[in-house]
Amino acid sequence: YKNNIHKNMHSEYCDRIYQYDKDFEVDGKIHVLIVGNSFARDWGNILLESDMTDHISISYSYTFDDSILERINSCDYIFAFMDKNDIPQYVWDNTDEAQVWGIGTKNFGESNGVIYARRNSEEYFNLTVELSTSYKELNELWQSWWGDNYIDLIEPVLTQDGEVRVFSDDNLFMSQDCHHLTRGGAQNYANNLDFTSIFGE
């Protein structure tokens, strides 16, 4: 809403995950290590908006390096936004393969302005966009490499016609820049993903 905004509010939301760039605490929770760029941070926000938030302890790192070896050794799950072949060998040497998951890519068109220009349409909140071929191909490639340990973030927002939803169940833009998630977008995923398929009952 216009009366509840400030500059860079959406990037601040995505980047709040930087505050979790620290070692795990001894708290009896499920230790979740998230590694990667802003798309990985989006996954962190999805987890924080979900019912899992009270059961997990998150640690974030932009990349794999020697400084997070202790975190790797003490985590229960690793989620990484990257090609599976780019996961360093020492991660596999110190972690059960079933604990390592790939975070999927996502895309919500080229510009929200194209959608906003149709705000007076009766079908406004049902508008969808065509999924870019490059994102579709990357999603399929990574899914084939990661197998069951892949977080597919395109399928949950895909329509029967193969297009991507722009608005959440609460009629909020899911992405402010067509790549990263708003809080409404993160909440939409949090409400629709099956976390038991990852963490169990």
Q: Which two tokens stand for residue 93?
A: 């040497």
CB atoms within 10 A of CB 37: 12
Buried b or exposed e, range 105-127, using 16+ CB within 10 angstroms: bbbbbeebeebeeeeeeeeebeb
pLDDT band, residue 12 (cuts 50/70/90): confident
SS3 at position 111 = coil
pLDDT tier at 7 (50, 70, 90 boundaries)?
A: low
pLDDT of residue 200: 87
**DSSP E strands: which ranges in 66-146?**
77-80, 100-103, 128-130
Question: What are the tens digits of pLDDT across the range 108-158?
Answer: 999 889 999 999 999 999 999 999 999 999 999 999 999 999 999 999 999
What is the model's pTM? 0.93
With cut-offs at 50, 70 and 90, classify the pLDDT of residue 161.
very high
Burial class of residue 19 (count of CB atoms within 10 Å of its CB; 0-12, 13-18, 19+): exposed
CA gap 132, 140 in Å, rounded: 13
At 154 the pLDDT is: 97
Q: Which of 4, 7, 2, 40 is nearest to 21 (CA)?
A: 40
Q: What is the pLDDT of residues 28-79, one digit of tens each?
A: 999 999 999 999 999 999 999 999 999 999 999 999 999 999 999 999 999 9
What pLDDT, on the 0 to 100 scale, is given for residue 72?
Answer: 95
* Region of residue 147 (phi > 0: left; psi between -120 and 50: alpha; otherwise: beta): left
**pLDDT of amino acid 5:** 59
